[in-house]
């Protein structure tokens, strides 16, 4: 195994994605109740996917397997970003709330891209 299964909890990319998850959960608490199974659910599902796939990728035995999970986490960041723009369009969030979360998303994208590159170098 490339990394100890518990070491992922010390990674900046995992910590930042947890911060983003917490932010989205707090944000979606104020969404209309009729969105519980719509945008609220979609936002929460994709944001939880980010740290979860990072953790799962770190638990894999081969870099190529790990990279696949990191790509899924990155895809979830893009999905989350889209859901936030849709939330703005529906006036569920303010521009400031969008900007705050987009900043966290950008930070996560940079970290996950660096992590993917690191693992690509391991697989060479």
Q: Which pLDDT does position 3 carry in this prediction?
A: 46
**C-alpha span between 61 and 81 (Å, rounded):** 31
* pTM for this model (two decimals): 0.91
As a whole number of Å, the end-to-end CA separation of the chain is 16
Q: What is the pLDDT of residues 2-50, one digit of tens each?
A: 545 458 999 999 999 999 999 999 999 999 999 999 999 999 999 999 9
- Which helix (H) or strand (E) covers residue 70, if one does? helix 63-89
User: What tokens were used for 108?
Assistant: 């996560």
Pairwise CA distance, residues 44 & 96, whole Å: 20
The answer on pLDDT for 75 being more than 90 is yes
Instruction: List the one residue out of 88, 89, 86, 13 whose CA is nearest residue 51.
Output: 13
Q: Domains for the chain: give ranges and CATH numbers.
A: 7-122 (1.20.1440.60)
């Amino acid at each position: 195994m490339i990394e100890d299964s518990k070491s992922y909890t010390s990674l900046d990319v995992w910590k930042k994605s947890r911060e983003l998850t917490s932010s989205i959960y707090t944000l979606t608490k104020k969404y209309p109740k009729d969105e519980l199974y719509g945008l609220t659910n979609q936002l929460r599902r994709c944001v939880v996917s980010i740290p979860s796939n990072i953790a799962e990728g770190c638990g894999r035995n081969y870099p190529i397997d790990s990279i696949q999970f990191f790509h899924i986490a990155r895809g979830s960041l893009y999905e989350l970003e889209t859901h936030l723009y849709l939330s703005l369009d529906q006036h569920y969030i303010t521009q400031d709330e969008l900007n705050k979360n987009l900043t966290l998303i950008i930070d996560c994208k940079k970290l996950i891209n660096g992590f993917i590159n690191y693992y690509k170098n391991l697989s060479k």
